[in-house]
Structure 1
Amino acid sequence: MSGTAVRVDTTSPVPPYEQIRAQLATLISSGRLAEGERLPTVRQLAADLGLAAGTVARAYRELEAAALIRTRRGAGTRVAPPPPGARRHETAALADGTRDFVAWAAALGFGEDDVVEAVRRAFQERET
């Protein structure tokens, strides 16, 4: 990860693992982290950010589940190739925006039902 900085705001209501996941997903989907580029080890990134290794590991697990990175024993963690026909940028951007919105809504005290209803209403208003 040459010169690309990931930062964590400890005053944010968004959990640190989610901040890491969202920033890396954005860097990958925008092409700033290229396919095959190696990411720091969990321990290294945790040390750089002053966080527990488990926090970074959770972010990496979620990125791996989203097929944005791959971890191979002996080869480290690298940016994964996009699946054939994938709309990686748009899908990742939607996921990032949704996670940020949900974190924001939760920080304001809204629950899942409130958020889902607000999204439904917003779509209905667009259609009228």
Structure 2
Amino acid sequence: MTLKIHIADGAAPYEQVRAQISEQARSGTLPVGYRLPTVRGLAESLGLAANTVAKAYRALEADGVIETRGRNGTFVAAAGPAAQRELASAAQEFAARARRLGQPQDAALTAVREALRAAYGD
């Protein structure tokens, strides 16, 4: 994760942190499940007050971009486009594995339909 704070920018430092993390999560640069640095750790590395980074993290959590898992840390959340990217990635992995196993497309599709039916209770 690369963040740069530009004091002369005019935007508040917490807003710069929020915007940059949000953009990196949205673009996939920060993948779903990526563990973010601690508030204090990021504040130190950026030369900011811990309260500034905490404010950015709170805003990101309210936006659904990140999620805090108690003492386990703060992670990029799987929501919206991020969840769609993760789903597409899982589908690509499944397709590649089905092909490696020598399975035809209809067998792979049947396997997916049965798995979805079992998962969703249809």
Q: What's the TM-score, normalizing by structure 2?
A: 0.65
5+ long unaligned stretches in structure 1: 89-128
Q: Which structure exhibits the higher relative contact order, with contacts defined as CA atoms closer than 8 Å and separated by 6 or more residues?
A: 1
Percentage of pairs with the same residue: 49
Cα RMSD, aligned residues only: 1.1
Of the two, which has the highest radius of gyration?
2
Deviation at 1:87, TM superposition (A): 4.7
Aligned-partner Cα distance in 2 for 1:80–1:39: 11
Aligned-partner Cα distance in 2 for 1:64–1:40: 14
Aligned-partner Cα distance in 2 for 1:51–1:33: 21
Which structure has more helix as a fraction of its residues?
A: 2
5+ long unaligned stretches in structure 2: 83-122
Give the secondary structure class of the aligned counterpart of 1:78.
Answer: strand
Give the secondary structure class of the aligned counterpart of 2:31.
Answer: coil
Aligned-partner Cα distance in 1 for 2:33–2:10: 32
Question: Deviations for 1:15-56, whole angstroms, at most 9, x for unmatched residues?
Answer: 000000000000000011011110000000000011100000
> Partner letter of residue 8 of structure 1?
I
Match of 1:6 among 3, 17, 21: 3
* Residue of structure 1 in register with 2:74 after alignment: 77
Compared CA separation, residues 15 and 44, structure 1 to 2 (3 A)? same
Aligned-partner Cα distance in 2 for 1:68–1:75: 17
